[in-house]
Chains A and B, each alone.
Chain A
Amino acid sequence: MKKLRLIAGVLVLGLGAAACGGAKVDDNSSAAPSANASAGAAAAGSAGTVKMAINAWVGYEASAAVVDYLLENELHYKVEKVTLNEEPSWQGMESGDVDVVLENWGHDDLKKKYIEEKGVAVEAGPNGNNGVIGWYVPEWMVQKYPDITDYKNLNKYADLFKTSESDGKGQLLDGDPSFVTNDEALVKNLKLDYKVVYAGSEAALIKAAEQATDQQKPLLMYFYEPQWLFSKLKLVKINLPPYTAGCDADPKKVACDYPAYPLDKIVSKKFADAGGPAYELVKNFKWTNDDQNKVADDITNNGLSDEAAAKKWVEANPTIWQAWIPK
């Protein structure tokens, strides 16, 4: 008993001594990477570790695959892919779990919080992709109901879009709950007789679009570009009230279309400050929607692994990526 108490006392003292300054949340990033780096070094003589957030749509994955491939094969870094939703990825920059986000869709609120207020992240320039978000219907519907592309007429066709999940209203099929979306507010503020139903993932959206095209089933869905699907089948965008600067300031009161998103890269402050070839490569990375769609198509439809698809693109397009490699 006495011995136990002694041990407990020593422990408390030890903790107390260690606790003098308290622990801040990013303290571990000094410990964890070193361990990883040493493990990595033992494995491949690596230049360091880059923690890359992977968001859950294939376009992002395509970008990540190529950057990953170059980091590992050209610059000899070890890449840790952290599969995360968009917002937690930002949080990961604070906690030290994420160094790089390769495809950021707007998120001005997060930029304000993590770049301006907390100072844990910095912008690393556009990645060259242009993002579009909107509501889409399969092409055959436009041929059959030409005026459906105007949002004002959607209520007229609400019955077409009824499903078992939509509560007697028309169904607006959304993707992953984590995606950028104003759809619930839009439905409400535009007084549409629709219900937003979440399919849960990009793949579910794609499958719905394919079925809607093949089987001529009505479908109204949230979708976005760049996406390889547009090279396979035709979807037509619904015209929502045009976007004006600031019309989406209050997420609850949005009644306008989504803005154009010049997609950009975000890196953690620590990663940027450390500099080095990895940071330079991420900063220089810039390609087109077509490039991304090619790689994404290979990953999704041609059965290639991320790595193989990246390799294929890298071998086919040396001029593009050589410009990214730091001199």
Chain B
Amino acid sequence: MVAAPADIAPPVPVAERAQRLARWLPAAGAVLVVALYVAFKNTAVLPHDDDASLFHWLNDARDWVDENRNTSPFFLYFVNYVRLGVAELFTLFQTALTALGWPGLIGVAAGLGWLAGGWRIALVSVVGFAGIGALGLWDASVDTLALTLSSVLLSLVIGIPIGILTGRSPRVRRIVSPVLDVMQIMPTFSYLSPIVLLFLIGPASATIATMIYAIPPAIRITALAIQRVPPTAVEASESLGATGGQTLRKVRLPMALNTITLGVNQTIAAALSMVPLVALIAAPGLGVDLIRALARVNVGAALVPGIAIVIIAIVLDRITRSAAVSRARSSAVRWAGFAVAIVAGLALTPVLAPEFPEQWQIQIIRPINDVVGWIEANWYGFTGFLNDTVAYGLLNPLQDVLTSAPWWLITIAVLGFAWRFSGLRAGLVAAGCLVAIAALSLWEHGMETLTIVLVASVITIAVGLALGIAAARSRWFAAVLRPILDAAQTMPSFSYLLPAVALFGNGRFTAIIASLIYAVPVVARLVEDGVRAVPGTVVEAARSAGSTDRQLLWKVQLPMAKSSLLLAANQGIVMTLAMVVIGALVGAGALGYDVVAGIAQQEDYGKGLAAGVALVLLGVMLDRITQGASGRPNSKKKRIA
């Protein structure tokens, strides 16, 4: 039996050989790509051309819109009305909030806090809003609040009905889902140009841009909430002869309400993270202070509005979160407290000065800048060394390869890699995106952006992985890390640019550092949650078999947390892209710069618009490549910071 005749053996080894071949295929593919690169280097490259006919065509389109803004029926009867209506909404909020005065607004916030979660939340609201006043940013904060509220209101008015439809109908879900996917991958920068073209600059465009960013969670979570309503409750209602509308109003919506409130919470968070950016298109508010500070490289002045936004975010988050948890049972005490707080605030409004008292304001800009100045003066050698190491060691060589390789080779390599990693469909989509970027005449800039994103992602994921694993393994470390990550996640992405600029000057490395601060919290958290989610019994079993800590980590915890790790990588890359694009404001160049220039300079408009599209394509490509074989859990919140 042992010495089986040779001629009987083959059937099994053939299958084995095929398997072995499949195992070697990726390596063979990699070798082939390298060989092709060496052979075809510097052929079929697509150098950047500012004069591409597509850009001119887009400029012409822009000019046409500009000329027909007041004559074309599409604008006269639709676009301009949207703009007017949204502007009115914003003005309404702004006027109302301003009219409340600072005591009135604090009173309203306290009342809402009381209503939603009792005295604790009311106290958080009072302290928070008073803190904003103390930072000396009351007026700008009110504008930001008005912008946030109007865009959140719009997001909900549009998002909740769509969410309900999506939750009810699988057909609608099939259409809406991929659209939301793209909306969430889309770097925020990329849609400023088209919005400005349609709605001009100003609060209306800003509100709409913010809404586009904030609406996906509203839709997704509403849909989820509606889907999760227990079918028996719905059936019971129908069995009693309720109409569809009655069942929706009396059963589905009330039962989904708590989850939908969480959706409101996420929508507000998303809106607040977008609000600073729309200052670029003439929205008033804290973003203006941020951008000004950025222009003056004044770290302290950038940090203060950043803190104000964090405070607004925390107050709104606590109010909506506790509203979602508590059941809305009418209780006389609650409503009385609500009324008392508001009346007290309003009563004080005419009594106290309309401006937040100056003597209550605290000055923190100077001490911060002193610290930054000291670091700048003393760490210059170190920061310069880091900058040059990454630039010469990683960025430049990678960029050389990507820009000197034939475009078809990169496309094929991406196709192969994505196919292997995430399946054929993902591979085709990713390759299609690359071809489209080439078609947009933005290949070279696309590759430059890709270079920065790749390097930044690798660093981000490495750091996030290390922090996440450390936090998962040490309660103590996690307890220290959590609040820091929480704060980092709530800060507007914008404010990360400044410390990075101050330390590293302008350039790609600064964008990398900023995206590192921006994306690491999310990556670390996903990694930590994933490792922690490994069932205790499995860990116990591994320990009882005598595993060392290291073995436990590498052989049990990490493999079992694979889907979380993939998600972390995916999120890390998508967020990095978003930040690298914003990094254009501090000299990171490439596609992000094209977008900024497109907003700022007339003749660059077409290029900027195309660059916006290219960024979306790049985002979709990176997302598809990394969504992994396991598929992506869609419900995870994305880029909500």
**C-alpha gap A23/B80 in the complex (Å):** 5
Closest CB in chain B relative to A185 CB, distance in Å:
9
Q: Which residues of A contact B292 (CB under 8 A)?
A: 54, 56, 83
**C-alpha gap A201/B497 in the complex (Å):** 13
Q: Is A314 an interface residue (CB 8 A)?
A: no
Interface residues of B in 273-299 (CB under 8 A from A): 279, 281-282, 284, 288, 291-292, 294-298
Q: Is B477 an interface residue (CB 8 A)?
A: no
Closest CB in chain A relative to B228 CB, distance in Å:
25
Interface residues of A in 184-216 (CB under 8 A from B): 184, 197-204, 207-208
Interface residues of A in 66-96 (CB under 8 A from B): 80-88, 91-92, 94-96
Complex interface bits, B251-273 against A, C-beta within 8 A gives 1, otherwise 0: 00000000000000000000000
Q: Which residues of B contact A1 (CB under 8 A)?
A: 243-245
Is B296 in contact with A201, judged by CB distance below 8 angstroms? yes
Please tell me which one of the listed residues B70, B244, B282 contacts residue A25 in the complex, with CB atoms under 8 A apart. B70
**C-alpha gap A110/B70 in the complex (Å):** 19
Q: Is B491 an interface residue (CB 8 A)?
A: no
Please tell me which one of the listed residues A80, A177, A197 contacts residue B601 in the complex, with CB atoms under 8 A apart. A177
Is B279 in contact with A31, judged by CB distance below 8 angstroms? no
Closest CB in chain B relative to A1 CB, distance in Å:
6
Closest CB in chain A relative to B232 CB, distance in Å:
25
Q: Which residues of B contact A208 (CB under 8 A)?
A: 505
**Which of these binds chain B: A35-43, A134-142, A240-248, A261-269?**
A35-43
With A31-B88, A87-B602 known to touch, is A300 a contact of B506 (CB < 8 Å)? no
Is A88 in contact with B201, judged by CB distance below 8 angstroms? yes
Closest CB in chain A relative to B142 CB, distance in Å:
11
Q: Which residues of B contact A146 (CB under 8 A)?
A: none
Q: Is A116 an interface residue (CB 8 A)?
A: no
Is B296 in contact with A300, judged by CB distance below 8 angstroms? yes
With A58-B296, A88-B600, A92-B202 known to touch, is A35 a contact of B95 (CB < 8 Å)? yes
**C-alpha gap A200/B87 in the complex (Å):** 30
Q: Is B191 an interface residue (CB 8 A)?
A: no
Complex interface bits, A81-115 against B, C-beta within 8 A gives 1, otherwise 0: 11111111001101111100000000001100100
Interface residues of B in 12-71 (CB under 8 A from A): 50-51, 66, 69-70
With A15-B81, A252-B51 known to touch, is A204 a contact of B202 (CB < 8 Å)? no
Interface residues of A in 15-73 (CB under 8 A from B): 15, 19, 21-25, 27-28, 31-32, 35-36, 38-39, 42-43, 54, 56-58
Please tell me which one of the listed residues B391, B392, B600 contacts residue A85 in the complex, with CB atoms under 8 A apart. B600
Q: Which residues of B contact A15 (CB under 8 A)?
A: 81
Q: Is B596 an interface residue (CB 8 A)?
A: yes
Closest CB in chain A relative to B431 CB, distance in Å:
28
Q: Which residues of B contact A302 (CB under 8 A)?
A: none
Closest CB in chain B relative to A217 CB, distance in Å:
10
Q: Which residues of A contact B603 (CB under 8 A)?
A: 251
Is B600 in contact with A24, judged by CB distance below 8 angstroms? no
Q: Which residues of B contact A22 (CB under 8 A)?
A: 73, 75-77, 80
Interface centre among A23, A84, A177, A303 (most CB of B within 10 A): A177
Q: Is A178 an interface residue (CB 8 A)?
A: yes
**C-alpha gap A98/B81 in the complex (Å):** 20
With A1-B245, A164-B388 known to touch, is A25 a contact of B200 (CB < 8 Å)? yes
Q: Which residues of B contact A56 (CB under 8 A)?
A: 291-292, 295
Q: Is B387 an interface residue (CB 8 A)?
A: yes
With A1-B245, A92-B282 known to touch, is A177 a contact of B99 (CB < 8 Å)? no
**Which of these binds chain A: B162-170, B432-440, B541-549, B586-594?**
B586-594
Please tell me which one of the listed residues A27, A32, A81, A199 contacts residue B80 in the complex, with CB atoms under 8 A apart. A27
Q: Which residues of A contact B318 (CB under 8 A)?
A: none
With A39-B99, A86-B600, A88-B600 known to touch, is A201 a contact of B295 (CB < 8 Å)? yes
Q: Is B624 an interface residue (CB 8 A)?
A: no
Is A178 in contact with B70, judged by CB distance below 8 angstroms? no
**C-alpha gap A164/B507 in the complex (Å):** 9
Is A177 in contact with B593, judged by CB distance below 8 angstroms? yes
Is A94 in contact with B80, judged by CB distance below 8 angstroms? no
Complex interface bits, A114-156 against B, C-beta within 8 A gives 1, otherwise 0: 0000000000000000000000000000000000000000000
**C-alpha gap A35/B88 in the complex (Å):** 9
Please tell me which one of the listed residues B83, B91, B196, B297 contacts residue A203 in the complex, with CB atoms under 8 A apart. B297
Q: Which residues of B contact A80 (CB under 8 A)?
A: 284
Q: Is B149 an interface residue (CB 8 A)?
A: no
Q: Is B315 an interface residue (CB 8 A)?
A: no
Is B88 in contact with A202, judged by CB distance below 8 angstroms? no
With A31-B88, A164-B396, A177-B593 known to touch, is A201 a contact of B80 (CB < 8 Å)? no
Is A25 in contact with B587, judged by CB distance below 8 angstroms? no
**C-alpha gap A86/B600 in the complex (Å):** 7
Closest CB in chain B relative to A323 CB, distance in Å:
30
Q: Is A176 an interface residue (CB 8 A)?
A: yes
Residue of A nearest to B87 (CB): A28
Interface centre among A15, A98, A199, A202 (most CB of B within 10 A): A199
**C-alpha gap A260/B60 in the complex (Å):** 30
Is A207 in contact with B297, judged by CB distance below 8 angstroms? yes
Q: A25-B200, A164-B396, A198-B593 are in contact. List 17 more A-B contacts (CB 8 A).
A: A1-B245, A23-B76, A28-B83, A35-B95, A39-B94, A43-B98, A82-B284, A83-B279, A83-B288, A85-B599, A109-B602, A164-B509, A177-B593, A177-B596, A201-B294, A204-B506, A204-B587
Q: Could you list 28 A-B pairs, sorted by A, with CB under 8 Å?
A: A19-B77, A25-B80, A27-B84, A28-B88, A35-B94, A57-B295, A81-B288, A88-B282, A91-B196, A91-B200, A94-B200, A95-B201, A98-B282, A110-B602, A164-B507, A177-B596, A177-B597, A177-B601, A178-B597, A199-B506, A200-B294, A200-B585, A200-B587, A201-B297, A201-B586, A204-B587, A252-B50, A303-B366
Tell me the A residues contacting B by CB distance below 8 Å: 1, 4, 15, 19, 21-25, 27-28, 31-32, 35-36, 38-39, 42-43, 54, 56-58, 80-88, 91-92, 94-98, 109-110, 113, 164-165, 176-178, 184, 197-204, 207-208, 251-252, 300, 303
